[in-house]
Amino acid sequence: MAFSPTAADGRTSASFSRTDRRFSTVKPPSNNELNSQIHMQFRESHEGHKPHAGLDPSRASTGVVWTTERAYEKGFLKDPTAWANLGQGAPEVEDDIEGCFERPKTIDISMTGREYGPTAGIKPLREAVANLYNAHHRVGKDSKYSWENVCIVPGGRAGLTRIASVLGNSYLSFCLPDYSAYNEMLSLFRNFAAIPIPLNKNDGYHIHPAKIAEEIARGTSVVLTSNPRNPTGRMVVNPELAEIQDICRDRCTLIMDEFYCGYNYMSNCDGTVISSADNVHDVDTDDVLIIDGLTKRFRLPGWRVAWIVGPKEFIAAIGSCGSYLDGGTNVPFQEAAVSMLEPTKVKHEMRALQHHFRDKRNYVVGRLLAMGFKLNYVPDSTFYLWLDLETLPEQINDGLNFFQACLEEKVIVVPGIFFDLNPSRRRDLFDSPCHHYIRVSYGPKMDVLKKGLDGFERVINKHYKLASEGKAHKRGDSVAIDDS
């Protein structure tokens, strides 16, 4: 430590050099510490400073982001067109799907669009969303949604974060497996305790009403789930969906992530959208919060325009918290979205979407069965396959190793373990029931799907070459494809 006179009265002040610091974010233990058992025991039982003192690096990347970063290391960033990305949870965005309306290529920006927008969204778009839900889900019902039942948010994750921030002190139940981004949201907030509901692969990961009733009996007051479900490609429909809502009514807030509701293959691809809005008795007293947007069913993930529909009191709080969480949604894109939500136009759009994506689903399922993959069911919704790898050779029969093998063939998938949500890392994931799965997206265009499945085939063939002992490959069970 060095002293130097600085004050007019001759007093000295202390100045410290870097070597005088008693604590450091980067210095290793001193020899004195290394030779002291008690010092080393203390270090090992207490996390010290990291190279970046304020950073929790475990928050940096999960799920799709992590897999994409691994692909970057193999050259994906330099030449993405050489790759087949079957990991990204996004639909194809081009305008060449027969029957779909053309997306805007330019947007007029009004003077209002230059200003800050309301954190709950502009009124014309809120009105358009309410009108869409009333036309598709509230015909013949006394209780209708108004613009005050709608909050516009900058994407689904922002919407979930807003909802999480206004929840009271509660137990929140969530399903396993489910959308990987829920994991961080369920970890960050301390106003609720997150409780998992493990679903059973033997019945296609179905959410049974009795299971929800059991959770509520245990004290759950909030339930979060995607429906249609990411990653399993299944959904709960009426009458079971209505039964779940009846069980929750007046007892539990139901958060329904309905981003994939347009990808419904159960009604002969007639454009029908499955939504919990059908079963709401009173839009202001039923605690049902519905999240959807332009991202998936309107194939505009880059716009970051989504909405939450629910009781006015909830929506007022969710709108207000946008002032400190995200600042609200891009106003010009909100203005451009209004005309897209005309109910008849949306119905035609959903019909074209369902036919196109069902065809892609059937192609992918057919290729996988021909390769010998085991499929327990064919997805009835979304654009995902929850693919079981257990019948493959041991070197590639888990999600992480299959993912690694696919990278060598310039193919990206998402290992299933990312969907075994583990908020705050309270469980050991070593024996995760999702360990032997991957999520495969058939969201991309058909040429990308073909390229990706060709890569799968190379991986399979490469590992079955060690069947030179002449042993036959144990093929997976086949399932019928329902074209209804």
Query: Is residue 25 a part of any domain in this protein?
Result: no
Instruction: Give the Å distances, CA to CA, from 136 to 21, 303, 344, 350.
Output: 67, 24, 9, 12
Residue 95 or 21, more confident: 95
pLDDT for 410 equals 98
Q: Model confidence at 473, in pLDDT bands (50, 70, 90)?
A: very low
- For residue 265, the Cα-to-chain-centroid distance in whole angstroms is 21
pLDDT for 60 equals 57
pLDDT for 275 equals 98
Query: Is residue 50 a part of any domain in this protein?
Result: no
* Whether residues 340 and 203 fall in one domain: yes
Strand 288-293 versus strand 253-257 pairing type: parallel
The answer, yes or no, to whether residue 24 has pLDDT greater than 70, is no
CA distance 269 to 352: 8
* Whether residues 138 and 203 fall in one domain: yes
Percent of the chain surpassing pLDDT 90: 75
Q: Which of 223, 214, 168, 162 is nearest to 195 (CA)?
A: 223
Number of folded domains in the chain?
Answer: 2
pLDDT for 464 equals 83
Query: Is residue 129 a part of any domain in this protein?
Result: yes
Report the run of H or E that residue 173 belongs to, with start and end.
strand 170-176
User: What's the mean pLDDT in 90-100?
Assistant: 95
Least confident of 317-331, 390-404, 444-458, 464-478: 464-478
Least confident of 109-113, 219-223, 472-476: 472-476
Q: What average pLDDT does the chain have?
A: 89
pLDDT tens digits, 172-199:
999 999 998 898 889 888 899 999 999 9
Q: Which of 358, 375, 364, 345 is nearest to 84 (CA)?
A: 364
Least confident of 14-18, 145-149, 425-429, 463-467: 14-18
* Whether residues 220 and 320 fall in one domain: yes
Query: Is residue 237 a part of any domain in this protein?
Result: yes
Residue 185 or 353, more confident: 353
The answer, yes or no, to whether residue 38 has pLDDT greater than 80, is no
Q: Model confidence at 39, in pLDDT bands (50, 70, 90)?
A: low
Query: Is residue 231 a part of any domain in this protein?
Result: yes
Query: Is residue 1 a part of any domain in this protein?
Result: no
Q: Which domain holds residue 184?
A: 112-347
Report the run of H or E that residue 106 belongs to, with start and end.
none
42: which residues sit within 8 A by CB, 6+ positions away? none
* Whether residues 136 and 195 fall in one domain: yes
pLDDT for 22 equals 46
* Whether residues 220 and 342 fall in one domain: yes
pLDDT for 216 equals 97
Q: Model confidence at 44, in pLDDT bands (50, 70, 90)?
A: low
Residue 452 or 431, more confident: 452
Residue 448 or 422, more confident: 448
Q: Model confidence at 478, in pLDDT bands (50, 70, 90)?
A: very low
Q: b/e string for 153-174 if b means 16 or more Cβ within 10 A? A: bbbbbbbbbbbbbbbeeebbbb
The answer, yes or no, to whether residue 46 has pLDDT greater than 70, is no
Q: Model confidence at 431, in pLDDT bands (50, 70, 90)?
A: confident
pLDDT for 440 equals 98
Q: Which of 67, 452, 384 is nearest to 233 (CA)?
A: 384
* Whether residues 195 and 304 fall in one domain: yes
Instruction: Give the Å distances, CA to CA, from 129 to 108, 132, 148, 326, 340.
Output: 21, 5, 11, 21, 10
pLDDT tens digits, 227-286:
999 999 999 999 999 999 999 999 999 999 999 999 999 999 999 999 999 999 999 999
* Whether residues 296 and 175 fall in one domain: yes
* Whether residues 339 and 364 fall in one domain: no
pLDDT for 425 equals 75
* Whether residues 182 and 169 fall in one domain: yes
User: Residue 341 belongs to a domain with what CATH number?
Assistant: 3.40.640.10
CA distance 431 to 411: 26
User: What's the mean pLDDT in 17-25?
Assistant: 47
* Whether residues 390 and 449 fall in one domain: yes
Q: Model confidence at 9, in pLDDT bands (50, 70, 90)?
A: low
Beta strands in 237-340 (DSSP E): 253-257, 288-293, 306-309
The answer, yes or no, to whether residue 324 has pLDDT greater than 70, is yes
Residues in the chain: 484
Q: Model confidence at 21, in pLDDT bands (50, 70, 90)?
A: very low
Query: Is residue 228 a part of any domain in this protein?
Result: yes
Query: Is residue 17 a part of any domain in this protein?
Result: no
DSSP assignment string, 233-249: -----TTHHHHHHHHHT
pLDDT for 475 equals 46
Q: Is the pTM of this model over 0.95?
A: no
* Whether residues 398 and 341 fall in one domain: no
Q: Which of 57, 54, 28, 63 is nearest to 43 (CA)?
A: 28
Q: Which of 164, 144, 145 is nearest to 153 (CA)?
A: 164
User: Residue 446 belongs to a domain with what CATH number?
Assistant: 3.90.1150.10
The answer, yes or no, to whether residue 57 has pLDDT greater than 80, is no
The answer, yes or no, to whether residue 221 has pLDDT greater than 60, is yes
* Whether residues 234 and 329 fall in one domain: yes
